[in-house]
Structure 1
């Protein structure tokens, strides 16, 4: 379909591969999904085969141009525009290593909050917010990997239950539900928590909630439920916002739009 002039494998993990593809028509990301076979370390998973098509359906619903999706012999695929730039985690590396003398750039935080707010305004919750999914480029931030998003209609062949995300960024109510029932319902408030946890770990290198590196998923989730989160040692307005976003009570968290308002006011005061 694309007739690539250049292609590069950028990710190969359990259940998916992602390619960076240049063509005469433009620059694309190509995702292929396939089932995960059972091993001694993990159970078999079928949802990974469906995830690219599910993401394609979400991207079309939010009116992203240049998107298509379909099936192949092992699962599903999608094609979407490539976003040039660095992830939030990469962008803020100097703050974690001590190389940066200034505070984290509030413009980066604003760009991340804005793209999440834009998604919410279209009726969708991301469900998998993490630093690697914010791509900071010349024109702001892009929020990628929408395979777990909820809010609009998904074609029946590509639906599957939401069983949580990377626990580092999981809100307490999501972890509690997954522990109790095996699944949860992502919400805008949980996305806000994940935004706060993403900003915190990108600035400091620390997970918002402490648990051993070798803890099981269940142990990680129980630590998130039990709390509290680590002290937020990020200075200034950003630290205050992160503290609010990490509130254990969903209704106490600001919306991404409210986060944007505070950050814009702070930037305008400079």
Structure 2
């Protein structure tokens, strides 16, 4: 069955809300997201469906469940969210998070010849958001610069569909399949290579945050591998290491170096990262 069109997918959520305006934010295999305005406010609307197998990609069923799973997690965390099912998957409608992704925010630092250094306040804000989630007993599992939204009142963590920390309705749950390899801790990549799955942890989140700070500041992935390398090759490079030299000046570089330790127990906790950056 071909992937549904964005127009077809939006009709799935129209029954739960009446947009006065809409903007397609993301339309990729398995997930479509809109920024919508309603009389009640601004929201992100997400619809998931299975990824069909191709010559380059295996089939993935978990993407269909992801919006529903995220909805259940956000409900656990006290966020006002609606979510449900449709014939090919799940959907959710949640408050829009206003701000700029960490990667976009630090773009001037990556400009050729730039002397601008990353803002420690931004880094602290991101660490505080991660630490707050950990303090509530959850691991995010998919921390990356695009999921760190820095606003005037602090940083918001978005895309929590892969998080672990509380009970999830069985109809929406699925094993953790790993995340974007640029930000996977070595122990996560090793487990995915061996079994196909892994378990998100606060320690792996700290590694992912360190890799996010590093790439946002420098433009470089923490671990080097060819851009077109298959996922297993990428993961093996992460497992084998080492990571690139952390050429970020000042206290931020020292903190990132510690966060990227290949041994989970040697990494600082997210609370310790906050104290180091304060």
TM-score by length of 2: 0.93
Query: In the alignment, which residue of structure 1 is the partner of 2:131?
Result: 117
> Is there any run of 5+ residues in structure 1 with no aligned partner, and where?
265-270
How many residues are paired up? 263
User: What displacement does 1:103 show?
Assistant: 1.2
Residues 1-270 of structure 1 aligned to structure 2 (within 5 Å):
1-64=16-79, 66-98=80-112, 100-264=114-278
> Is there any run of 5+ residues in structure 2 with no aligned partner, and where?
1-15
CA distance in 2, matches of 1:99, 1:27: 39
User: What displacement does 1:244 show?
Assistant: 0.1
CA distance in 1, matches of 2:89, 2:198: 24
8 Å CA contact 2:108, 2:116 repeated in 1: no
CA distance in 2, matches of 1:35, 1:183: 18
CA distance in 2, matches of 1:33, 1:150: 19
User: What displacement does 1:73 show?
Assistant: 1.9
Give 4+ residue runs of structure 1 displaced > 2 Å after superposition: 98-102
CA distance in 2, matches of 1:208, 1:103: 18
Task: Report which stretch shifted further, 98-107 or 80-89.
Answer: 98-107
User: What displacement does 1:100 show?
Assistant: 4.4
Cα shift readout 1:125-182 (whole Å, capped 9, x = no counterpart): 0000000000011111000000000110000001111111100000000111111111
Query: In the alignment, which residue of structure 1 is the partner of 2:8?
Result: none
CA distance in 1, matches of 2:232, 2:145: 22
Distance 1:99 1:85, change over 3 A: farther
Alignment RMSD: 0.9
CA distance in 1, matches of 2:119, 2:17: 37
Query: In the alignment, which residue of structure 1 is the partner of 2:9?
Result: none
